[in-house]
Structure formats: C-alpha cells, structure tokens
Amino acid sequence: MISRLIYTVYEVKNLIRWKRFIHTMYGLTLKETNQNNEFEAVVDSTGCRIIFREGKTDDIVAIGFESNSLDKIENSLVSNNFIAEWGSEIETKSRYSNKLLKTIDPIGLQIEFVDVSKSYNLYTEPDHDLEFDCGDLGLGHVTLNGSVSPEDMRYFYADTLCMGLSDCNEPTLGFGMTLDVVFFHTNKRHHSIAYAQIWTGKKINHFQIECVDRNSVGLGYKRCKKAKIPIAHSVGVHPNDNQISFYVRNPSAFQCELGAESTEIKDNHEAKKFYGISVWGHESPLMQTLIYAKNMIRYKIKMKLGTIPKTPTKLLEEKKIMPKENTKLKLDEAVRIATAAIAHARKENMEPMAVTVVDAAGTIITSQTEENCALIRPDIAYGKAWGCIGLGFSSRALHGLYGALPDMNPAFDSFGAISKNRLVPSPGGVFILRDNEVVGAVGVSGDMPDKDEACSIAGIKAANLQYRK
C-alpha cells in the first residue's frame, strides 16, 4: 500500500542553528516554504525532503509516506480502529500533493499519506560532496521512541499499513538493561521506520539519510568533526542491515545518522532477532552513555511505578481522545494544596513546614512557609517539587534509586549539578494529577520525610486532585 518514506516534519526551537547544522552535516539545498517560519531541506528531485518549522517541542511532528492506494489505507485504518482524516486543501497543497490522508500512530505521532509528490520541483544541485541514494527507496529511515509495546507498533505499521517486519533487536545497554527495537520496511530499503521501546519524552530517536557509498559517509564524518558537531556514535556497522554509519547530536538534542550500503530486503526475506547494535564501531562518548543510562533508568522506574503516560492506542480503543484543555494547574488549586498541607501538619502536631507547588513546567505557583521553619526548608520543598517535573521521578522514587543503583551515583551527582541542585532524593515531593495527566508537583519539607509526604498527599486530596508518589 505504501511505496516509500518521502518526508519528515520536525518542530524545532532554533531554525537558524538547524539551517547551519543541516548544511554542514548533509550539505542539503534549503528552501523557505510558503508557511511562516518553516524551511525544507531538499534531498533529491523526487520529493525526498525534511521539513523544519519553528516550535517548542524540538521533536518530530509528522512523517509522510507516498502511496497510490490512499482509499485502501483509509479502509484499513478505520477497520483497525485508527483515526483516518483527509487533509484540508491548504495542508494538501503544502505537501505538493493532490490528496492527503492523516492518522495518528500508537505513540501519538501524525502519519501522513500523499498520492503524488513527484511533481515536486524545488530541487537544485547542492554545493556539497555527498551523494544521496534516496529516490524510489525513499528518504532513509526514522527511528521512534515511545512507551507502547513493540507489538502495538507492529499492529499499526505491519498489520494495518502492511509494512514488512525487517528485524528485531534486543541490545544490552549496561546496568542489566536491554532495549526492544523493531524495524519495518515499505520497499527494498531495509527499514523506513524503526521503533525503540523507551520513553524519553521525545518521539524521535534519530533520522537517517542514505548515501550512495561509504566514501560519502566518511566525508560527512570528516566535515562534522571539523565543524565540531558533537559525535554521538563514531563510524560503525550495524549487524541487521550491514549499514555503515555515524550519528551526531543535533541542535534539538536528538540524533541524526548518515549511512550507506544498507542491505536490501529480498523477496524471501525472513525477520531475525539480533542482540547488539553494532558489528564494530559506533562508540559513544561518556556523556552520551550517561544520557542513555538516564533515559533507561527513568523508563524502567516509570514502568515499575506505572507512571508512563497513557498511550494514544489505548485512548483510541476507548473511542475517545483525552481533552487537552483543563491540563493546567490553577492558582486557587495550588493555594488550596499548600494550605491543606500545612493544616495537616498542624493537625498531626508536626514540625513547622514549608510547601511549594509547581506547575507541569516547573514554575512556582505558590509557596508557603510557617513561622519558625528552618531557613533551608523552603529551598528543600522547592527541590522536592521541581525534581518531580525536572527528572520525572517523585522524590521518593529518586531516594529509592540512590540506594538501589550505587554505581549510578556519579551520574546522579551530575544530574544534581545540571539541575542546579534542584533534586532532593527524600520523600515529600509528589506529582499532582488531573485525569491521569501530570499538572504539577508539590514539595513539603519540615519534619521527617514520610511525614512531609503525608502533608503533600493531604494537600492534593483536599484540592480534589489525584497524586502519584
């Protein structure tokens, strides 16, 4: 049903840095689109391109596939309980297409299908020494992150969109942790979509553009090193597709890969399971390894605590979408939480308390301190609340991590430094939820940690909201 991956769309905070980055790493032709604050990096004359628009998320916002069977795709989406919606005239035109169909995949990413983009004629010869190998096989590939199971992604990409399963991989990442990765193909390209089950807060893990040969990869690597673009993985070869590639960290803090010589899918292809990322190479600097470890630990803890956000698939199964409005913590609710937390402390005859309530962005909404409270307590209360939002762990979970993973203490120390000492690994910092969505956090400090936490919970309950510790 789908012929190829033709474009990807990213929302990025800094368009200027991205323009510089794309030109250095890939040397691509850049074109302003007819939308405000948006540009395209044009890869070839067949319509393969990457679209960047200004926004806050620094994440992928859409993937575009080319297909001449949009009606079939619509039927399959609807019969498998996924949304199928036709794009407006403006949206369709902006994709240089006659028809545009949209859906949402299990991680909540917009997937678009266009009937034709070959009339696209913006390509001009770039001023670089890389040669790309896109065309009929598509742009390259995109690897996504999420908390849903690989089976959920298979149900969408393989069972519903009829993509082939290329391989699975379960690499070990250290600290006894493994990662589940699945790869899907739409044509002979080994994979156009891959998915790693890890929740990092971003849907994108990395995107790749395919070059004609290893010399193009080597030249790109040399150019990135010279421009001091941070290398996330040095040159190496993957075991499943035999691709030679390297990865860099881009201005939105996810990764871009430049690769070549991927094995093509044959008619008699059988999906296999692999247990490693690389045959050789792809070494990471220490900082990158720490980022992976932090993400995995966060994910595993969230799995254990059941605090992974509810998935769009589940919501679709229930035939409803969570309302996005009403997700902000209101001032009167925050004041009620703080007042009730202190009232609880008085009722239980606890030590003088400090309470801070922050919203889902970590901004202080209200802070209350009782008379005779120790000087340092308001700062501790703020740290307990901010740490929930900043690292995604309640201060109780953080306390547990310090004890359970002593090998990670140097990493935790660095998280503390990066957060400007706003992480307090001691109970009392609790998430505030409304309808399963985190809307903020409260931190209490004054007495023993368990008592502080009891005050936080009493405050949240008094405001008719839910808590998670």
Site residues for Fe ion per CB under 5 A:
208, 257
Minimal distance in Å, beta carbon 78 to Fe ion?
32
Minimal distance in Å, beta carbon 5 to Fe ion?
13
Instruction: Let me know how long the chain is.
Output: 469
Give dist(CA 151, CA 156) in Å, integer. 9
248 vs 457, beta carbon nearer Fe ion = 248
Rg for the chain (alpha carbons), in Å?
24
Minimal distance in Å, beta carbon 259 to Fe ion?
7
188 vs 461, beta carbon nearer Fe ion = 188
Give dist(CA 469, CA 382) in Å, integer. 16
Minimal distance in Å, beta carbon 208 to Fe ion?
4
- Of 262, 211, 221, the closest CA to residue 241 belongs to 262
Which segments of 99-228 are extended strands (E)?
100-104, 110-114, 140-146, 164-169, 172-174, 177-178, 181-185, 193-197, 204-211
160 vs 208, beta carbon nearer Fe ion = 208
Minimal distance in Å, beta carbon 191 to Fe ion?
8
9 vs 196, beta carbon nearer Fe ion = 196
167 vs 257, beta carbon nearer Fe ion = 257
- Given a contact cutoff of 8 angstroms between Cβ atoms, the answer to whether 247 and 282 are in contact is yes
Residue 84's CB is within 10 A of a number of other CB atoms, namely: 18
Torsion of CA 299, 300, 305, 306, to 10 degrees: 60
Give dist(CA 402, CA 71) in Å, integer. 54
58-70 burial: b if 16+ Cβ within 10 Å, else e:
bbbbbbbbbbeeb
189 vs 377, beta carbon nearer Fe ion = 189
For 327-389, the three-class secondary structure string (H helix, E strand, C coil) is CCCCHHHHHHHHHHHHHHHHHCCCCCCEEEEEECCCCEEEEEECCCCCCCHHHHHHHHHHHHH
Minimal distance in Å, beta carbon 253 to Fe ion?
17
Minimal distance in Å, beta carbon 66 to Fe ion?
21
29 vs 166, beta carbon nearer Fe ion = 166
Phi/psi for 461 (5° steps) reads: -60, -40
105 vs 257, beta carbon nearer Fe ion = 257
Minimal distance in Å, beta carbon 242 to Fe ion?
12
234-259 burial: b if 16+ Cβ within 10 Å, else e:
ebbbbbbbebbbbbbbbbbebbbbbb
Task: Please measure the distance between the N-terminal and C-terminal CA atoms of the chain and give it in whole angstroms.
Answer: 46
Which residues neighbour 413 within 8 Å (Cβ) at sequence distance 6 or greater? none
Minimal distance in Å, beta carbon 136 to Fe ion?
20
254 vs 467, beta carbon nearer Fe ion = 254
